[in-house]
Structure 1
């Protein structure tokens, strides 16, 4: 038997050290070639480290949250034969999972598919939480729970930091049915326990990114109410006529189109601000970042050259990127380089929000939910579908009047949808 030492790989771009985010193995585990051993976090990406060998884990080189130098010992594996104790071929990073931290970075890290991971299954049909304790879950999971009639605070989460996943809802239903006699009183038992969760890895990068954005940019928000009755009627008509052959349209591709058209008159919104160099770069290409919630945190995949895409092309690209981001398969290139960001919480969008800028961009357009309201139209009270746009801007670059006029231009385009396609 011998020992194979795996060192922290050189991920590129001159990175000298990375943060060890999570171990997927422990001492004593048997591993196979290409099995994911650990996640490491650079300033720009979460990267999976695979095993190049079969063997047994005999030592781990660090703890989650620890910053490790490139070339330091990551893990030691007992293998058949002489092993590689003195030197190890650095394994190639696998399946880069980007965060919305570095819109400037355009390079793509070469990768190979990571070995499939096993999702932990909930142990027991329910878990008690304090009445005011908000369980961690993505908007999609919250909506799924609402549709299933499940109280999220009763579901044990198996994701990072106890986040509730779709699989946990299914496990809760399955185990709840097999344990139907479990006392309901358990959900109301008093609790005095505490849990400390270390902020590391992707969550730390997101926190740093949000803090940096709010400290460096002079945020201001502007909210405008929009009558989306006409655009919703058009969307329903197009889906009925072309949905089977071209795919269903959501509101997002219409919003992307409205951004593209409005930016022709407001190019200062499609820009990046380098506050260290004191340079504003306005771009002709419209690369729209679409904020997407995943089980590991907020990610911003980018619809590139939205100015050259049709409604269905935009819709297909948004769907493809969102799926890749949620599955952790989006590449570095797909998660960087945006020039303006669109964010939406869908059905959970609320009435008003104050989105945080995706630096170095200077504008982010936030979409709130659509609600039916009585409105006065030509002297008559009628029911209309209304929606707010809650958008934020960098006041160092964007004047308040320009921001208001920009959002009002989007409003005009959406309320008169034919103007979206008039050249």
Structure 2
């Protein structure tokens, strides 16, 4: 902008061109632009502050729950001690899992999380219950999607699968610092697994993860693109190619109910089943933090059934677990609701136009000083925009984000002190400290 301002100064002073505009023209625009910028920064900081307040709520709730469970749940056997210890560790695991969940780091393959979860932990979000083995074997997009024996039918079928994939990026990176993107119905992440089963009845592709399916579709698209390069074609290759232009099933699968499968056999998870059960489409999923809360609630209910704790204590624990669930939902609201794209685009366009016309308005009154003044105004306005984008999502790894790792470590040290230094029961703690 300094070079542009210098060019305006030369045209006005040296070439004597009448390019000056009245300062009052930008006056009214300055007020509106200032309000927009103030709203942008205040909204971003409000999200940042709400994130910190929610972390404080989670920390306080876990502190209280750890103290209450450690003191009020009795230990009569070694098994009781192991179960209570696991419950305390699950409280910490909830905080750590929430941290990874907010950063879109799914699964349990993290050192800080694995040391808090039981060794036999099998999260629903990874295994999908009884389909755990099928999912684990379906991690490779080509050789492990159940297509070794049916490769020809697989390739033929995936050409008719209503997918929209990128030819170059297998998985679109999740960027919550930008604007909100609309849902795409034909995106593989939005597809029902029951529909995939219809296309591939003899394959376990329906039990695969969405990235694995997408990677295979991308490889197929790349193969077709190479073939089209050697063949004359009237259509030009685009970066994003729909593998299915239009089919009756793809157009109506969002509202079609004929492909709903009957209720699955739940085994020991549900003692009764009926026709009124929610149809199992194979899409059942749950975030890891929410699943941890369910496990803790089951432990508390089991302790109540065994007459280890009283009903009043169960109510206290339930209220605390509800608080953790509410904070998790609010966390997700902050992460998954960025500033709308229209607002960001209009604000950036307004700032650019304001900076562009500012030298024309100041060159007559300031002369050569228009260069540093415009540079200063540009630095200020663009800095405000950058601040809003930087602190809008405070749960990442940037320097201006909240130090989630430090919060988790501090809470872990506090709970460890309770476990190893505070007795779970005492008769004379105020007299002899024991």
With normalisation by structure 1, the TM-score equals 0.20
With normalisation by structure 2, the TM-score equals 0.19
Work out which of the two has the higher radius of gyration on C-alpha atoms and give 1 or 2: 2
Structure 1 or 2: more helix by fraction: 2
Q: Which has the higher contact order (CA 8 A, sep 6+)?
A: 2
